[in-house]
Structure 1
């Protein structure tokens, strides 16, 4: 590798996109930022699908209660042990780290696969949102794998186009709106499940009143998570639930996708903050959605296998349920479309992120009209994990194992060769996984751990044979100098940041607005509990549920008015504080706590 002078490196750094550089100390966030981020990201419209899927797969009540706890705990530990430490030490996104490790063809294939995965997730979210709107517009239910209504096709396309345009051009106001949806979504999912428990209890016990925990278990086991599929076959069991729960986000933790988030964490233990998403979203919301789906099936006299998220939300939350499905689907679709654009830009760097997002978005819009994508969502994300986790194993081996075994990190780049070891260590586990799946030897949800482990072993062995055991003093020296100049660059940026300016908004109206939206959430949740504990018969239950629907609808309007108004006031106040500090020429955008 040719040596560059500090001045040449400084000019190179100035030209680089911020995504290609390590995160600076002045850009780091505290633990609360990641707790809120994971809570908001993992409570979405597809939680209705996950909850119903475990019912359809025949999970038992104890399988769900224990299996989801264990599986989600394993996911949290994966974030903490695998993802966060590498992210906080390199301060790089997974895309940049992979480019430094393997580069070339490996990076392009990986980025392309990521674009496909995020596109599939986005398409599923758009379809979920469309199922709610199609009820309002009275289009027929989409019970087949393909669309059966021209109206639904038009609706999905329109919704998809809006989501793609937002992701491509980054409308700030809508992105800010999405940031305040997390607390409301969590309360609505919990309330929806609670409200329908008396209806499920009547189905199982002949009474809407539960006497204690044993009745809850009986209700769940008899009518929701029965241990049998709708066809009467045995269900997936405890290990199956654990496997699916752990595998649901495997591309993000074992596959290291969320390095892109945790590189902004001050400490690696912030990986534990993923628990807000895993346990509020992938535990509470999935179980609640299962109860909602089972109750809706009983009320509508339809099989849970054909119910749509919009139908379930309507029965559990009234018209506010439509908003839950639309907002939950839209916010997640928007975020994943943005990610798909970033990943696609890695494949086609000559195009802007916005242009790539539009191209990927076209595929997403077409895919969104096919209901099979959201109905098979659990399996799709599991397969995606199997496809992507070997890269996580390769990067784990590169960062942790090669130096400890006397080999050189970034050896392929120093040597100036294609990292064939990485390609083989990715391709061989995928081929092995495909054979195992075709032969039916192992269920899909158990495949990602052996695929990850095999990639680690293969990469260490192949890298040693292909050049990692050699020393590369010039390359290491060049990287050390580059890191030093990046530190200087970040120090300059930090000096320009008005860190000493207090931008917190302590004005009375802003505080009142915060109190208002918090009270609204408390009232909605409290009324759901009243429905649960004060419904001695079905007639009383239905009267209380109708009142809850009204409170949920009005509360939803009040929540968003107060929360969004508070957000706008805080941003305006922060911007004004910065302008006073720096003078009228300041154009910085404030970073809210």
Structure 2
């Protein structure tokens, strides 16, 4: 491997896509950014599916209370001690790091699998949103694994096509809109569960009034998380709940996909901030959705196994529930379609992201008409974790273990060979996991930790045998020079980025709009608490519930008007501030009021 000159490296850096470069210091974000990001990402339409799934799997009330706490804590610790340290030290996305460490073949396979995983998630979320639209258009319920209504098929195709087009060509606008959905979704999920507790209490205790925590546990154990499946079989138990909760995001934390987010973190301890998503979304929202699903099953006299998210949201939140399902499903689908397009572009680099997104989107739209995809969502993401976490183990070994064991990081690239140990350390654990699953020797939710560990150990052993124990001074010198020139490049970018400009919007109307949406959410939450605490009997409950439905619907409209208005004003103010710094005026800007 011949050494390059600084000029050659500079030309190489100038010709690289920004995604291929480490993140610069001027691009880093503070703690609040990641707290909000994880909260918004993990409180979405999927939570209706997860909450109902734990009821269907027969989890007991204490299994859920303790198991979700332990499983989500393990997920947070994995983000903190596995994902975040590698992300903040390399400042690379997982795709770039994998390409450097394992080479083109492994990267292409990984990108292709990621594209499939994100496409499936997108399809499931389009179907979730379509369940709310189905009720609006009065199409038949989809209780089978396959579609049974031509109207629903048309609805899913049209809705899915719109989602694909937005992801392909209008993602920035949607991402801006999605950024304000998190606080509203969190309040609505909590409110929906609260509103249906008195109804569940009436079913379990014969009264709508709860005398304390003990009554809540009784209601949860008797009517929601009973410890038995709807067929009467024994449920998954405490370890099963822990396993599912830890595995639900395993491809993001143990599989290191969230390196792409956490590379922008100033400190590795920001990995702890994933707790906003794990405990607000994967704890509070799952428990609340379980209550909503069980209560809706009792109200509608249907089995929870065939209930749709739209039906659940309507019973819990009224017409505002339609917005929760549609917005939560749509924003999640679009974000994952965008990711699928990026991953697919890694497999087909000659095509633009938009074109790849459209191609994958066509398959997503077809898949979205099949309800079995969203009904099996918990198992699907668990299998995705098993398939992707070996790459996390391989990269963990590459970054941390090889240097500590006297071996060379990036050895395959330095040696100019295909990284066969990476392929074997990925394929062998997957093959063993498949055997265990097919033979019924282990449930899926137990498999990702041993698969990750086995891939890590295998990679270290195989890499030592195939060249990692050797030294490659020319290659290491080239990487050191590359890192130095990237720092120079980032210094120049920072000078041009105007990070010294104060872009905070302190104008009165912007502040008023923020107060409006905060107060609005508080009013919605208070209306839900009135239903819980002031319903002395079923008649009072129904009156308070109907009043809450009106408050939730009107409050939703007010929230989005105020929150989006504030966002647009802050964004415009930032553009004007930067333009003034440049001595120019942005097109269409107006003087600040």
Tell me the TM-score normalized by structure 2: 0.98
Q: What is the aligned partner in structure 2 of residue 428 from structure 1?
A: 428
Q: What is the aligned partner in structure 2 of residue 72 from structure 1?
A: 72
Q: What is the aligned partner in structure 2 of residue 31 from structure 1?
A: 31
1:170-319 equivalence runs, <5 A:
170-319=170-319
Contact 1:578 1:586 in 2 (8 A): no
Give me the whole-angstrom Cα distance separating, in 2, the residues matched to 1:423 and 1:573. Answer: 50
Indicate whether 1:476 and 2:482 are aligned: no
Q: What is the aligned partner in structure 2 of residue 326 from structure 1?
A: 326
Q: What is the aligned partner in structure 2 of residue 365 from structure 1?
A: 365
Residues 435-476 of structure 1: per-residue CA shift (max 9 Å, x gap): 111111111100000000000110000000000000000000
Give me the whole-angstrom Cα distance separating, in 2, the residues matched to 1:66 and 1:584. Answer: 58
Q: Quick one: structure 1 residues 397 and 556, their matched pair in 2 at CA, closer, same or farther if it must change by over 3 Å?
A: same
Residues 59-99 of structure 1: per-residue CA shift (max 9 Å, x gap): 00000000000000000000001000000000000000000
Q: What is the aligned partner in structure 2 of residue 531 from structure 1?
A: 531
Q: Quick one: structure 1 residues 516 and 122, their matched pair in 2 at CA, closer, same or farther if it must change by over 3 Å?
A: same
Indicate whether 1:131 and 2:131 are aligned: yes
Give me the whole-angstrom Cα distance separating, in 1, the residues matched to 2:121 and 2:415. Answer: 38
Offset at residue 169 of structure 1 (A): 1.1
Give me the whole-angstrom Cα distance separating, in 2, the residues matched to 1:182 and 1:433. Answer: 36
Give me the whole-angstrom Cα distance separating, in 2, the residues matched to 1:175 and 1:480. Answer: 36
Q: What is the aligned partner in structure 2 of residue 96 from structure 1?
A: 96
Give me the whole-angstrom Cα distance separating, in 2, the residues matched to 1:261 and 1:217. Answer: 38
1:463-542 equivalence runs, <5 A:
463-542=463-542
1:52-63 equivalence runs, <5 A:
52-63=52-63
Give me the whole-angstrom Cα distance separating, in 2, the residues matched to 1:332 and 1:173. Answer: 14
Offset at residue 172 of structure 1 (A): 3.0
**Which secondary structure state, in structure 1, belongs to the residue aligned with residue 351 of structure 2?**
coil
Contact 1:513 1:562 in 2 (8 A): yes
Give me the whole-angstrom Cα distance separating, in 2, the residues matched to 1:163 and 1:271. Answer: 30
Q: What is the aligned partner in structure 2 of residue 13 from structure 1?
A: 13
Give me the whole-angstrom Cα distance separating, in 2, the residues matched to 1:10 and 1:154. Answer: 52
Q: What is the aligned partner in structure 2 of residue 397 from structure 1?
A: 397
Give me the whole-angstrom Cα distance separating, in 1, the residues matched to 2:388 and 2:535. Answer: 49
Give me the whole-angstrom Cα distance separating, in 1, the residues matched to 2:562 and 2:586. Answer: 29
Indicate whether 1:567 and 2:567 are aligned: yes
Give me the whole-angstrom Cα distance separating, in 2, the residues matched to 1:492 and 1:516. Answer: 41
Give me the whole-angstrom Cα distance separating, in 2, the residues matched to 1:129 and 1:138. Answer: 14
Residues 202-239 of structure 1: per-residue CA shift (max 9 Å, x gap): 00000000000000000000000000000001000000
Indicate whether 1:147 and 2:162 are aligned: no
**Which secondary structure state, in structure 1, belongs to the residue aligned with residue 313 of structure 2?**
helix
Give me the whole-angstrom Cα distance separating, in 2, the residues matched to 1:578 and 1:453. Answer: 48
Give me the whole-angstrom Cα distance separating, in 1, the residues matched to 2:442 and 2:176. Answer: 44
Moved over 4 A (4+): none
Give me the whole-angstrom Cα distance separating, in 2, the residues matched to 1:296 and 1:521. Answer: 24
Residues 541-579 of structure 1: per-residue CA shift (max 9 Å, x gap): 001000000000000000000000000111111111111
Contact 2:575 2:586 in 1 (8 A): no
Q: What is the aligned partner in structure 2 of residue 356 from structure 1?
A: 356
Give me the whole-angstrom Cα distance separating, in 2, the residues matched to 1:263 and 1:580. Answer: 30
Q: What is the aligned partner in structure 1 of residue 120 from structure 2?
A: 120
Q: Which runs of 5 or more residues in structure 1 are unaligned?
A: none
Give me the whole-angstrom Cα distance separating, in 2, the residues matched to 1:555 and 1:215. Answer: 30
Residues 517-558 of structure 1: per-residue CA shift (max 9 Å, x gap): 000000000110000000011111001000000000000000
Q: What is the aligned partner in structure 2 of residue 345 from structure 1?
A: 345
Residues 146-174 of structure 1: per-residue CA shift (max 9 Å, x gap): 00001101111111111111111134332
Q: What is the aligned partner in structure 1 of residue 443 from structure 2?
A: 443
Q: What is the aligned partner in structure 2 of residue 388 from structure 1?
A: 388
Give me the whole-angstrom Cα distance separating, in 2, the residues matched to 1:304 and 1:528. Answer: 23
Offset at residue 34 of structure 1 (A): 0.5
Tell me the TM-score normalized by structure 1: 0.98
**Which secondary structure state, in structure 1, belongs to the residue aligned with residue 183 of structure 2?**
helix
Give me the whole-angstrom Cα distance separating, in 2, the residues matched to 1:2 and 1:586. Answer: 47
Indicate whether 1:556 and 2:551 are aligned: no
Contact 2:310 2:325 in 1 (8 A): yes
Q: What is the aligned partner in structure 2 of residue 412 from structure 1?
A: 412
Q: Quick one: structure 1 residues 566 and 382, their matched pair in 2 at CA, closer, same or farther if it must change by over 3 Å?
A: same
**Which secondary structure state, in structure 1, belongs to the residue aligned with residue 363 of structure 2?**
helix
Give me the whole-angstrom Cα distance separating, in 2, the residues matched to 1:23 and 1:175. Answer: 21
Q: Quick one: structure 1 residues 427 and 553, their matched pair in 2 at CA, closer, same or farther if it must change by over 3 Å?
A: same
Contact 2:174 2:331 in 1 (8 A): no
Between the two proteins, the alignment pairs up a number of residues equal to: 588
Offset at residue 176 of structure 1 (A): 1.0
* RMSD, aligned α-carbons: 1.0
Residues 270-315 of structure 1: per-residue CA shift (max 9 Å, x gap): 0000000000000000000000001100100000000000000000
Offset at residue 586 of structure 1 (A): 6.9
Give me the whole-angstrom Cα distance separating, in 2, the residues matched to 1:17 and 1:104. Answer: 17
Contact 2:100 2:410 in 1 (8 A): yes
Give me the whole-angstrom Cα distance separating, in 2, the residues matched to 1:421 and 1:371. Answer: 39
Offset at residue 103 of structure 1 (A): 1.1
Contact 1:341 1:354 in 2 (8 A): yes
Offset at residue 135 of structure 1 (A): 0.2
Give me the whole-angstrom Cα distance separating, in 2, the residues matched to 1:3 and 1:472. Answer: 11
Q: Quick one: structure 1 residues 17 and 67, their matched pair in 2 at CA, closer, same or farther if it must change by over 3 Å?
A: same
Give me the whole-angstrom Cα distance separating, in 2, the residues matched to 1:585 and 1:504. Answer: 18
Contact 2:398 2:410 in 1 (8 A): yes
